A = this chain, B = another copy of it.
Amino acid sequence: MVDLRQGTFIRKLDQSGFLTEEDRETLRGLQLRTRDVDARQDLILEGDRPENVLVVLTGIACRYKISEGGRRQIMALLLPGDFCDLHVAILGHMDHCIGTLTPSVIAEMPRAIIDDLTANHIRITRALWWATLADEGISREWLVNMGRRPADQQTAHLFCELHRRLLTVGLAMPDGFEMPLRQVDLSDILGLSPVHVNRVLGELRAANLIALSRRKLVIPNLDRLQKFCGFNPNYLHLTPRIDR
C-alpha cells in the first residue's frame, strides 16, 4: 500500500540536501506496511535484533533506557519522518528501547529495502547517514542541556527544539504547537522529577515565556524564549545546504 504519510520521512531525508528528484521518486515508490500503535507501547526492546527498520509516520516515539534505579531516561524524541533503528543494521543489537509516547503510525521498512537502498542509491545512503549524524548532534546538545543549564532554561530549550523540529515537518505554527507529551515524559527527557517540571512550567508561564494548556503550547515571543535559554538551532543541521 503506498501511504501518502511516508511523505514525512522523504521530506526529512530531503533536508540532507543530497537527494535528487529521482531519489525522491524511488522513495515515494516504496511499498511499506504501516501499523497503528497506542501511546506508551514498546516498539523495540534493548537487546533486540529487529528485522525491519521502523519509521515514525505520525505521532511521537522515543529512545529510552531504564536505569538500575528503575527510572526512565528518554534519550531522543522520534518525530514524524524519523528512523527508529537504522543503526541496528550496523551495530547488530539494540542498546536501548524504543517506545511510543503518543498514539502513532509506524511504517516497517524491510531489511531488504535498506540493503537495496544502501547498495544501489548512493545519495539516499548518504541521506540516511546524514539522518543518524543529525540525531547524534541532538543528543550532544541534550548533554549540554542537562549538564550545564538550570531546569527552567533546560525546559525552555527543549520547547525551542521541539518547535523548530515540528516546524520542519509541518506540525507547528510560527507561534506554537500541539504538545502531546505529559509532564512525566518531559521529566524523563530532562532528567528532572515530574514535580519540579510542573513548577518550572509554572515559572515559564508566569514569566510569560510560554502558555501551555489543553495540550497546546503557545510561544508569545519566540525570540525572547530562545534568548532566555540560549537556543541556537545550528546543531539541528536544518539549514538549506547549498554547498554540494
Q: How many copies does the complex hold?
A: 2
**Could you tell me the distance between the alpha carbons of A231 and B16 in the complex, rounded to whole angstroms?**
36
A139 to chain B, nearest CB (A): 5
Docked complex: A121-176 residues within 8 A CB-CB of B: 126, 129-130, 132-137, 139-144, 146-149, 153
A179 to chain B, nearest CB (A): 20
The reply to whether A143 and B75 form a contact with Cβ atoms under 8 Å apart is yes
Residue of B nearest to A187 (CB): B147
The reply to whether B92 and A243 form a contact with Cβ atoms under 8 Å apart is yes
Docked complex: A76-99 residues within 8 A CB-CB of B: 76, 87, 90-93, 95-96
The reply to whether A144 and B92 form a contact with Cβ atoms under 8 Å apart is no
Q: Evaluate whether A148 and B90 lie within 8 angstroms (CB atoms) in the complex, with A63-B140, A140-B95 already known.
A: no
- The listed residue (B71, B92, B135, B241) touching A241 by CB distance below 8 A is B92
Docked complex: A99-138 residues within 8 A CB-CB of B: 126, 129-130, 132-137
Residue of B nearest to A229 (CB): B68
Residue A6 interfacial (CB < 8 Å): no
Q: Evaluate whether A137 and B95 lie within 8 angstroms (CB atoms) in the complex, with A67-B149, A75-B143, A144-B67 already known.
A: yes
| Residues of chain B with a CB closer than 8 A to A8's CB | none
The reply to whether A73 and B144 form a contact with Cβ atoms under 8 Å apart is yes
**Could you tell me the distance between the alpha carbons of A239 and B134 in the complex, rounded to whole angstroms?**
26
**Could you tell me the distance between the alpha carbons of A95 and B236 in the complex, rounded to whole angstroms?**
9
A144 to chain B, nearest CB (A): 4
Residue of B nearest to A140 (CB): B75
